[in-house]
Chain A
Amino acid sequence: MNRQSLSLAAFIVAVALPLPADDAKAESLYVPLLTYRTGAFAGSGIPVANGMHDYLTMLNERDGGIGGVKIEIEECETGYTAEKGVECYEKTKAKKPLVYNPYSTAITLQLIPKAPVDKVPLLSMAYGLSASAVGKNFAWVFNPPTTYWDGTSAIIKHIAEQEGGLDKLQGKKIGFIHLDAGYGKEPIPLLEQFKSKYGFELFLYPVPPKEMQNQSSIWLNVQRDNPDYMIMWGWGAMNPTAIKEAANIGFPMNKFYGVWWSAGEDDARPAGEGAIGYRTLNLNGTGADYPAIKDIQRLVVDTGKSQVTSKGRVGENLYNRGVMNSVLVAEAIRTAQKLTGKTAIDATDMRRGLEHLEITAERLKEIGLEDFMAPMKVTCEDHNGHHAVYVQEWDGKQWKPISNWFEPMKDVVRPMLEQAAAEYVAKSKPPERTESCD
Chain B
Amino acid sequence: MDTLADIFVNPFAQMAANPVFLVKVIWEGLVAGMLYALIALGFVLIYKASGVFNFAQGIMVVFAALTLVGLHERGLPAYVALVGTLAVMLLLAIAVERVILRPLVNQPDITLLMATIGLTSLLIGLGEIVFGGEPKTMITRELGLPSGSIRLMIGERPLVLQRLDIVAGGTALLLVTTLAVFFQRTRIGRALRAVADDHQAALSVGISLNQIWIIVWFTAGLVALVTGIMWSAKSDVSFALEIIALRALPVLILGGLTSIPGAIVGGLIIGVGEKLGEIYWGRLVGGAIDSWLAYFIALLFLLLRPQGLFGEKIIERV
B window 290-309: CB within 8 A of A: 290-291
B274–A46 touching, CB < 8 Å: no
Q: Does residue A429 face the partner (Cβ distance < 8 Å to B)?
A: no
Chain B residues near A272 (CB-CB < 8 A): 147
A37–B133 touching, CB < 8 Å: yes
B133–A211 touching, CB < 8 Å: no
Given contacts A208-B288, A224-B21, A248-B149, contact A46 B134 (CB under 8 A): yes
A40–B279 touching, CB < 8 Å: no
Chain A residues near B72 (CB-CB < 8 A): none
Give A141 to B234 CA distance when docked, in angstroms: 40
Which stretch from A122-130, A236-244, A292-300, A371-379 is at the chain B interface?
A236-244
B234–A244 touching, CB < 8 Å: yes
Which residue from chain A places its CB closest to the CB of B242 in the assembled complex?
Answer: A40
A223–B134 touching, CB < 8 Å: no
Chain B residues near A46 (CB-CB < 8 A): 133-134
The count of chain B contact residues (Cβ–Cβ below 8 Å) is 38
B132–A309 touching, CB < 8 Å: yes
A216–B137 touching, CB < 8 Å: no
Which stretch from A26-34, A199-207, A399-407 is at the chain B interface?
A199-207
Q: Does residue A266 face the partner (Cβ distance < 8 Å to B)?
A: yes
A38–B133 touching, CB < 8 Å: yes
* CB of A37 to closest CB in B, whole Å: 5
A42–B243 touching, CB < 8 Å: no
Q: Does residue B310 face the partner (Cβ distance < 8 Å to A)?
A: no
Given contacts A180-B288, A206-B288, A309-B134, contact A241 B239 (CB under 8 A): no
B288–A40 touching, CB < 8 Å: no
Which residue from chain A places its CB closest to the CB of B25 in the assembled complex?
Answer: A220
Chain A residues near B147 (CB-CB < 8 A): 272
Chain A residues near B134 (CB-CB < 8 A): 42-43, 46, 266, 309
Most chain A beta-carbon contacts within 10 A, residue among B133, B134, B135: B135
- What does the 1/0 interface line of B233-256 toward A look like (CB < 8 Å)? 011101111011011000000000
CB contact between A217 and one of B137, B239, B279 (< 8 Å): that residue = B279
A214–B247 touching, CB < 8 Å: yes
B275–A43 touching, CB < 8 Å: no
Given contacts A211-B288, A240-B236, A270-B236, contact A249 B137 (CB under 8 A): no
CB contact between B239 and one of A38, A204, A220 (< 8 Å): that residue = A38
Which residue from chain B places its CB closest to the CB of A46 in the assembled complex?
Answer: B134
Q: Does residue A212 face the partner (Cβ distance < 8 Å to B)?
A: yes
Chain A residues near B274 (CB-CB < 8 A): 217
Chain B residues near A237 (CB-CB < 8 A): 135, 235-236, 238, 240
- What does the 1/0 interface line of A220-231 toward B look like (CB < 8 Å)? 110110000000
The count of chain A contact residues (Cβ–Cβ below 8 Å) is 40
A241–B133 touching, CB < 8 Å: no
B28–A216 touching, CB < 8 Å: yes
A38–B279 touching, CB < 8 Å: no
Which residue from chain B places its CB closest to the CB of A269 in the assembled complex?
Answer: B137
Chain B residues near A341 (CB-CB < 8 A): none
Give A157 to B282 CA distance when docked, in angstroms: 31
B238–A43 touching, CB < 8 Å: yes
Which residue from chain B places its CB closest to the CB of A204 in the assembled complex?
Answer: B287
B25–A211 touching, CB < 8 Å: no
Give A213 to B238 CA distance when docked, in angstroms: 9
A window 260-318: CB within 8 A of B: 266, 269-270, 272, 309
Given contacts A248-B149, A309-B134, contact A205 B235 (CB under 8 A): no
Can you name 23 A-B residue pairings with CB atoms under 8 Å? A39-B240, A40-B238, A43-B133, A43-B134, A46-B134, A206-B288, A211-B291, A212-B235, A212-B240, A213-B244, A215-B235, A216-B28, A217-B274, A217-B282, A220-B24, A221-B282, A223-B24, A224-B279, A240-B236, A241-B234, A244-B234, A249-B160, A272-B147
Shortest beta-carbon contacts, A-B, top 5: A40-B240, A42-B133, A43-B135, A241-B235, A237-B240
Which B residues have a C-beta under 8 Å from some C-beta of A?
A: 18, 21, 24-25, 28, 31-32, 128, 132-135, 137, 147, 149, 160, 162, 231, 234-236, 238-241, 243-244, 246-247, 274-275, 278-279, 282, 287-288, 290-291
Taking A46-B133, A240-B236, A270-B235 as known contacts, 14 extra A-B pairs with beta carbons closer than 8 A to each other, sorted by chain A number, are A39-B240, A42-B238, A43-B236, A43-B238, A207-B288, A212-B240, A213-B236, A214-B247, A217-B279, A223-B21, A224-B279, A241-B235, A241-B236, A244-B235
